[in-house]
Every structure is written in C-alpha cells, then in structure tokens.
Structure 1
Amino acid sequence: MVAFESIVSHVSDFLMTYIVSMFLIFTGLLYTIRLKFFQFRFFPHIIRNTIGKMFHRNKKEGTITPFQAFTSSLGTTAGATNIVGVAIAIALGGPGALFWMWVVALIGMATKYAEIVLGLRYREQNKEGEWVGGAMYYIKKGLGWKPLANLFAFFLMLEIFASTMVQSNSISTQLESAFGFNKVIVGIFLVILIGIIVVGGIKRVGKVTDKLVPFMILTYIIATLTVVIWNYDQVPQMFALIFSHAFTPISATGGFAGAGIAGALRWGLARGLYSNEAGMGTAPFAHSAAQTDHPSKQAIWGMLSVFIDTVVICSLSGFAVLSTGAWRDVAPSKASSMVDIALSTIVGDFYGSLFIAVFLFLFVITTVMVIIFYGEKQVEYLFGLKAAKTSRFIYLIAVFIGAIGGLQLIWQFLDLLLAAITLINVVPLLLLNKEVRDITQDYVDRVIRHKNHEPVISLFAEKQKAE
C-alpha cells in the first residue's frame, strides 16, 4: 500500500509540476496575446464595472446576481492557499517566489476570463429554470466532444468528493490541536451548518457568500496590512528581496535553507496557479448562473477574483511573513505557522493563532459549500436533476468522514484527479480561443468604446435561439 501511494504521489507531482503548469502558463499567455492584453488595457474599466457596481441590481437573464456569482467563485479560491500556501512557497523558493506568483496571476486573469465567457456562451436552463453552465457544456456544445465532456464531469464529481474530505479534515485537525475539540463533534457541526446552506441551492449559497466572503477578505486584508504598516521600516528591504531574488539565488539564513532561481520560479508559479484556480474549469459553474446580458460583462468579475486572490491577498500574506522576518525564523517544515507568527508580533501568540484558526474555519466553510454546488452540477449533467439533489447529502457525508479522518486513501488521488480535469479543460480552451476573441471584441466595440449605440444584446442568447 505504501508503494502504491508513493507511485500515485510521484505521478501527481510530475503532472502538476511540469505538464499541467506548462499548459496553464501557455494558455494564459495565448489568451493574454489573443485578447490584446485586455486585462492590462482595460483594468480601470474592470474595476469600475465590478467593484464600482458591486451592489447594482439588474433584471437580466440569470439565477443569481453578478456579485453573488463573483463571491461564490472567490469563496472557493480564497482560503488556506492564501495563508499557508504563500508561506510554504517563500519557505521553499525564497522571497522571489512572490514575484512569480504575481506574474502567473496577471496572465491567469485572461484564462479565467476565457473560461467564464465560454461558460456563459454555452449555458442553458435546467428543468427548474435555473441557468447552468461550465466546462462540460462548452466541451460538448462548442466542440461536439460529448465523451470528453462526460469524462470531465465524472472526474470533477470524484475530485470534489475527495476535496470536501480534505477541507473538513484540515479544520477539524486544527481545532483539535489548538483547542482540544473532538473531531466527531466538529464533523457533526460542519455537516449541519453546511447542510442548511447547500440544501437551498445556488441562490442560498450566493446569499451567504455575498455577505461572508467580503467580510472575511476585508478583515484579513486589514489584519495583514496592519502587520506590514507596523513594520514599515522593513518594507524597502522586503521589496528588494522579492525583486532581486526572483532572478538571483539567495543564501541560507536563520531557519531558511536558501533557494536558487529555479526554486523561486517553481514554487511561485505552482502556488500562483493553484491559488486562483484559473484554467481548472471550476469558475464557470458559479458565473454561468449570473444575471447578465453579455458574457464578457460577467467574465471581468473572474479577472477581478484572480487579482484579489493572488495579487492582493497572497501578497499581503507574503508581505506579513517577509516584513516581520518570520520567513527566516521558521524552518520549512513548520512554514504553515509563518502567518500566525507574523500576526503574533502585534497581538501575541494566542490571538495570532486564534485569528488564523477562525479564518481558516470560515474559508473552509465557504469553500466546501460552493464546491458541493459544483459537484452537484456534475451529477446533474451526468445523471439528471433528481440525482443532483440527492448528491448534496452524499457530499455532506463526505464532509463528516473527512472531519474524523476516514478514507484517507481517497485523498491520495486528489491531485491526480485535479491534474486530469485541468488538462481536459485546457485543451478545449485553447481550441475555442477564436470564439472568445470575437465575443471580447464585440464587448470592446459596443460596451467599452460605444461604437454601436444599439442596446447590448446577449450574444449567447442570440446564438442559443438560433441553435
């Protein structure tokens, strides 16, 4: 069994580190060039029409508001990777890893935008009148590859089963070690809390995330920014470390073992890619349910989510770790505690650990309830609406099993399944780039530059009616 687990682990590491990473980077670069650097040229427009219209209500076709779709999607990416993942990247790749996280996020904005555009272009209404869409819909309807679409949905359905267990176990383990909570009690509590939300479907999930996610993110930003301001005298040196060691090796110092350029590049790219999930095919599920009259109008919310997740939240975690010197004081094996230690320099050890424990708990709650919705959509696609509603309870059972540490063998396949669904998603993304380009150009001409003063009519609605 140990040998089998070792093989699975090595295969997963190879796929994620080399094959998947290279495909994701290539896809991001292709779309950045194909869309004429849209995320850079029109960044002020993106901010004005997302954050600037955060509470804007409309009556466009869709199930939830654009902001609820955005917070639901962001709820799955803003989490442990932003806190623990960044610290691990710095511990193993040095301060320069943060620079490469920024690079991959900026090109990843184009990838996530493309996924959402295609998700909306090929979305459809189910029997209850709710809008559904995602990678399997644009694989089947855009390319006619139904077997591959089914395979994507099947792999993602299984991946979410494993992921819910890992997520619930992470928080039950932390609560047990930090406060002595019983894992069984934690598991029951998680099932009840998450169950109340997911049974209400995407509408209830959206109503929870549009209140909880902004609160979590703003509070975390304020906390980490306070640490950086508290250590303001270290800020110039901090940026010097980031930019210089993105291109030059750094020697061992304190508990830090040193890192070369390859280490900074490898860990920065890896954490950046997996933090915001751009290219993995998950973002379209929430965004395809949004009320909008043009695919690009909703897709720019996806660009914003990548920016907030990696460029803002991950950066502040890194800044807190670097400005306090925690990256030098803590051995790589204990890197997950770096942000706790950084916060502790201001509020003390107990409150620093408590703050991180509470936020990891909230991040896990939002992540699990949204990915259960994602899993439900895979079941609906494969087996129908009735089976999808039943699957909610199966996923809730997985939450409990994970909390008590059961079926850990399944966890070994998590990265392998993630690699499979990402590769299945990226190939259609590459092949459908012309369609994304045309929809984007229409948006630029009619909405941004106002070349056509006729009312904006949904391209995907027009094409769906024609089909």
Structure 2
Amino acid sequence: MDSLVPVLEKIQTIVWGPPTLLLLLATGLYFTVRLKGLQISKLGLAMKYIFQKEEGEGDVSAFGSLCTALAATIGTGSIVGVATALRAGGPGALFWMWVSAFLGMATKYAEGVLAVKYRSVDENGQICGGPMYYIQNGMGEKWKWLAKLFAFFGIMTAMLGCGTFPQVNAITESTSEAFGIPVWIIGIVVAVAVACVVLGGIKSISSTAELIVPFMAMFYILGSLLILILNAEAIPGALKLIVTSAFTPHAVAGGAAGTVFISVMTAMRTGIARGVYTNEAGLGSSPIVVAAAKTKSCVRQGLVSMTSVFFTTIVICTMTGIVVITSGYLDTTNLDGGKLSNAAYNAGLPGNLGMYMVSVGLIFFAFTTIISWCYYGERCLVYLCKGVKWVVLYKVLYIACVAAAPYLELQPIWLLADITNACMAFPNLIGLLGLSPVVIKETKDYFAGLKNKR
C-alpha cells in the first residue's frame, strides 16, 4: 500500500484543489444568501421538529432518518478525522471546518428538500431517493448520466471510502491499543455485527441508529465537556490559535512552518475536506436516507436534516479539536489519528479513562457509520441496476470489505476516502445548483403557509 500513497496524494490534491473548495463554499454561500441565513433564523424551529412526530409516506420516522444520517456522519471523522486534520493543517484546519459547517447547513437543507420532493418507490415498496433521483426527476432525462455518475461513486464511497475501511480501521486500532484485543478478533466481531444489522434492511439500520446514536453522542459530549471544564484556562488561547492559524503559518510537532500561502491553503483544504467528510454537506449521501423519512413536507424534513451538520461539526468535532489542541500533544509529539485523540483525552482525565472513552465512542460511532453507508450504497445500486436483484450480493461484498479493512494501513485509507468524497460531491452540487429555484420556491411557500396559519 505504501507505493500507492504518492499516487493517492496527487489525486487528492487535484480533486480537493481550489475548484472543488470554491464550488462547495460557493454552493453553501449561494443558498445561505438566497434563503436569508435560514441555518441561523430557523435552527430553533428545526430543533423543535426533531422531536415532533409527523405522519406521512416513508419507511422510517423523521427522528429515525436523522439518527441514521447522524450515524453516518458522527463516525471516525469526528474523532480520528479531526486529529488527522489538525496534524496535517494545524489548528487553523478547525476554523475551516467551522466555515464549511456553517455554509454546509444551508447546503444540507437544500439536499433534504430535494430528496423528499423527488423521491420514488422501488419494486419492493421501499422509498428510493437522493441526488440520483432529484437530478433525473428534477433536471430531466438529459441529465441522467450525471445521476448515474453520482450513483457509481456512491457505491465506491460506501465500499472503499467512508463506509468501510476508515471506520473499521479506526475501531481496530483504538480497541487494540486500549483493551489489548487481537486485531483479527476485532475484525470478526465487527463483520458479524454489521451483517446482523444490514441484512435486516433500512428498518433494522434505523432502529439500531436510534438506539445507539443519541446515547453515544451524549456520552462523548459530556466526557469532552468535563475535560474542557477541567482545562478551562487553556480554552481562550486555543480559540485564538485556531483563528490565527487559519490565516498564518503554523508549525506542528517541531517542524518549520511553511509560507503563508502554502500553510493557509493546506489548513483550508484539509479543514474543508475533513469538514465535508464529517458532516457530508454537499456530498449527497444523507439525502438518500432523508428521502425515507415519514413526512408530508419536504421543507420540514430539510430543516431536520440541516441539524445533523450542527451536531456533527459545530458540537462534536469542535469539542474533539479543542481537547486535542489544549492537550499540547499537537505541538510536542508526532502522534496522529486515533493515537493522538487517545493521548489528548487521556491527558484530560485521570488514569486511562480518556483513552477508554475515546475507544468506546469510536467503536459505536464507527459501527453506526458502517451500517448507514451500507444503505447508501444499496440505494445507489438499486438506481443503477433498476431493481433489487443485486442487493444481496452487494451486502455480501460490503461485509467482506468490512472484514478485510483491519489489515489495511491508515494513510492510504484516508486519502481514498477523501478522493471518493470529492467524486460524489461534483454531480450532487451541480444538481443542487440546477434545482435551486425549486428549493427557494418550496421554502417560500412553506413559510408563507405557516405565517397564514397564525
């Protein structure tokens, strides 16, 4: 795998170059302006909708859909990915994660609106939705090639990117270090557990996500808050460092800082790429499960979907990042990934409690990401093959990828995940911009209706 790293790094630099970053930020900025800062003004309403039950067509509840979307986003990217971004781009990478999250909330809202509006039903009576459907059904048959391109890269990302390799690798590395369990045993247990859930379909996946995600999120947030409270005096300095490092060179692990342009571009590219990896705004994955929500309103579900970016990046990734920065290990060691996160949390809690907390969080977060991405890839396959006949074979291959993942190296895995993410983002962003008038009209009509009901 070492020989592939230089090749993957070159490809990553190209696909996550200025054009991609500009397109992601411009799309989020465009929807932010046209929707009049909806991610701020309507965040309270969106939070309220999360806990309100609504009846309508769909396979799972709105809350179940959100939990499944969160399950796919609150994964290793929120723990290992943040540490990796800080190591590569310095503390400033976290600032650019915030920027991508703020603009990404508007993008995620637009994805949710279109997902519900243009969803369909497969031959088994299950909901089908996502970018491939809103591109084809919303933009017309002449754009079908773009929908197919998204679906193809969706399958690749599920099996070779976000869905399997980074998640399982992080589980095995962290668990082996914390509990001393052999890698092969961890791999078998994860593969069997994944098989038990994904073979049951979306309802099994959603039920598992509803059970695990809220509990584990609160567990991780409370643990992080405890560390930050104990280390409160270091937080103002960390926040200042995050902002200043976003625009100035910063040396890590005793290395020399590069030029201003190179350092800022590295922080920006790493932060935005990792931000997209953690919240998937603009990637087009979460609309696949958003479409399955039981709802009568595409706008209402778009608002609920928008909150996933807030929880994932603004809350959880920020806590991880500040804990790592205030620990001092970013500047004094060469630790990376899960090892850096483990060391940072261990420094903040007595004994090995921090390491165990990170390891348990990684196990459950990564597991729910794996099962959610299996569904994403499945729906992409159903679209490409125009039916469900290959679904069982796909699930078998997916489980096989999970079983093989523990034996792969971390660096090429993260590079591959970043590359496949970008390849999904392009077709989706084109679809979002092409259908932006639909999003804006639906939004205006919905809130005008709410105003008239008062």
Q: TM-score, normalised by structure 1?
A: 0.87
**Stretch of structure 1 that moved more, 302-311 or 119-128:** 119-128
Shift of the 7–218 alpha-carbon distance from structure 1 to 2, 3 Å rule, reads: same
Larger radius of gyration: 1
| CA–CA distance in structure 2, aligned partners of residues 216 and 319 of structure 1 | 19
C-alpha displacement of 1:42: 2.0
* 8 Å contact from structure 1 (residues 96, 244) kept in 2: yes
C-alpha displacement of 1:160: 1.4
C-alpha displacement of 1:21: 1.9
C-alpha displacement of 1:248: 4.2
* 8 Å contact from structure 2 (residues 105, 310) kept in 1: yes
* 8 Å contact from structure 2 (residues 87, 252) kept in 1: no
Q: Deviations over 1:303-339 (max 9, x none)?
A: 11001111111111122123333333333x5364333
Correspondences of 1:23-62 after superposition (within 5 Å): 23-50=23-50, 54=51, 56-62=52-58
| CA–CA distance in structure 1, aligned partners of residues 90 and 438 of structure 2 | 40
Match of 1:368 in 2: 370
Match of 1:241 in 2: 241
Match of 2:281 in 1: 278
| CA–CA distance in structure 2, aligned partners of residues 237 and 376 of structure 1 | 46
The answer to whether residue 106 in structure 2 is matched with residue 110 in structure 1 is yes
Shift of the 125–169 alpha-carbon distance from structure 1 to 2, 3 Å rule, reads: same
Q: Letter of the 1:242 partner, please give it.
A: I
Q: Deviations over 1:370-411 (max 9, x none)?
A: 1011111112112212322332222112211223449x9998
Shift of the 414–193 alpha-carbon distance from structure 1 to 2, 3 Å rule, reads: same
| CA–CA distance in structure 2, aligned partners of residues 253 and 416 of structure 1 | 25
Shift of the 436–238 alpha-carbon distance from structure 1 to 2, 3 Å rule, reads: same
Shift of the 313–26 alpha-carbon distance from structure 1 to 2, 3 Å rule, reads: same
* 8 Å contact from structure 1 (residues 21, 273) kept in 2: no
Match of 1:451 in 2: 452
Match of 1:318 in 2: 321
Shift of the 4–352 alpha-carbon distance from structure 1 to 2, 3 Å rule, reads: closer
* 8 Å contact from structure 1 (residues 165, 400) kept in 2: no
Q: Letter of the 1:207 partner, please give it.
A: S
* 8 Å contact from structure 1 (residues 17, 270) kept in 2: no
Match of 1:338 in 2: 340
Shift of the 253–189 alpha-carbon distance from structure 1 to 2, 3 Å rule, reads: closer
Q: Letter of the 2:98 partner, please give it.
A: W
| CA–CA distance in structure 2, aligned partners of residues 267 and 205 of structure 1 | 31
Match of 1:289 in 2: 292
Match of 1:226 in 2: 226
The answer to whether residue 110 in structure 2 is matched with residue 140 in structure 1 is no
One of 82, 93, 96 as aligned partner of 2:89: 93
Report SS of the residue matched to 1:323: helix
Q: CA RMSD in A?
A: 2.6
Report SS of the residue matched to 2:345: helix
Q: Deviations over 1:209-250 (max 9, x none)?
A: 112001111111101111110012223323333334434445
One of 61, 75, 79 as aligned partner of 2:75: 79
Shift of the 387–410 alpha-carbon distance from structure 1 to 2, 3 Å rule, reads: farther
C-alpha displacement of 1:128: 2.6
Shift of the 339–3 alpha-carbon distance from structure 1 to 2, 3 Å rule, reads: closer
Shift of the 414–4 alpha-carbon distance from structure 1 to 2, 3 Å rule, reads: same
* 8 Å contact from structure 1 (residues 94, 258) kept in 2: no
* 8 Å contact from structure 2 (residues 276, 283) kept in 1: no
C-alpha displacement of 1:59: 2.4
Match of 2:22 in 1: 22
C-alpha displacement of 1:254: 6.8
Shift of the 95–174 alpha-carbon distance from structure 1 to 2, 3 Å rule, reads: closer
Identity across aligned pairs (percent)?
Answer: 35
Give ranges in structure 1 of 5+ residues lacking alignment.
454-467
Correspondences of 1:171-182 after superposition (within 5 Å): 171-182=171-182
| CA–CA distance in structure 2, aligned partners of residues 257 and 202 of structure 1 | 49
The answer to whether residue 380 in structure 2 is matched with residue 378 in structure 1 is yes
C-alpha displacement of 1:413: 4.9
Correspondences of 1:416-435 after superposition (within 5 Å): 416-435=419-438
Correspondences of 1:297-316 after superposition (within 5 Å): 297-316=300-319
Report SS of the residue matched to 2:317: helix
* 8 Å contact from structure 2 (residues 346, 352) kept in 1: yes
| CA–CA distance in structure 2, aligned partners of residues 381 and 167 of structure 1 | 25
Give ranges in structure 2 of 5+ residues lacking alignment.
none
Report SS of the residue matched to 1:57: coil
Q: Letter of the 2:96 partner, please give it.
A: W
Shift of the 409–236 alpha-carbon distance from structure 1 to 2, 3 Å rule, reads: closer
| CA–CA distance in structure 1, aligned partners of residues 417 and 283 of structure 2 | 13
**Stretch of structure 1 that moved more, 234-243 or 152-161:** 234-243
Q: Deviations over 1:403-455 (max 9, x none)?
A: 3449x9998754433322211111111111101110111122113xx2257xx
C-alpha displacement of 1:5: 5.5
C-alpha displacement of 1:345: 2.6
One of 110, 124, 133 as aligned partner of 2:120: 124
One of 302, 327, 332 as aligned partner of 1:329: 332
The answer to whether residue 361 in structure 2 is matched with residue 359 in structure 1 is yes
Match of 1:456 in 2: none
| CA–CA distance in structure 1, aligned partners of residues 343 and 173 of structure 2 | 19
| CA–CA distance in structure 1, aligned partners of residues 366 and 293 of structure 2 | 23
Match of 1:159 in 2: 157
* 8 Å contact from structure 1 (residues 71, 206) kept in 2: yes
* 8 Å contact from structure 1 (residues 161, 395) kept in 2: yes
| CA–CA distance in structure 2, aligned partners of residues 60 and 253 of structure 1 | 52
Correspondences of 1:188-267 after superposition (within 5 Å): 188-250=188-250, 252=251, 255=254, 257-258=256-257, 260=260, 262=264, 263-267=266-270
Match of 1:458 in 2: none
* 8 Å contact from structure 2 (residues 284, 425) kept in 1: yes
| CA–CA distance in structure 2, aligned partners of residues 241 and 12 of structure 1 | 27
**Stretch of structure 1 that moved more, 179-188 or 57-66:** 179-188
Q: Letter of the 1:12 partner, please give it.
A: Q
C-alpha displacement of 1:186: 2.1
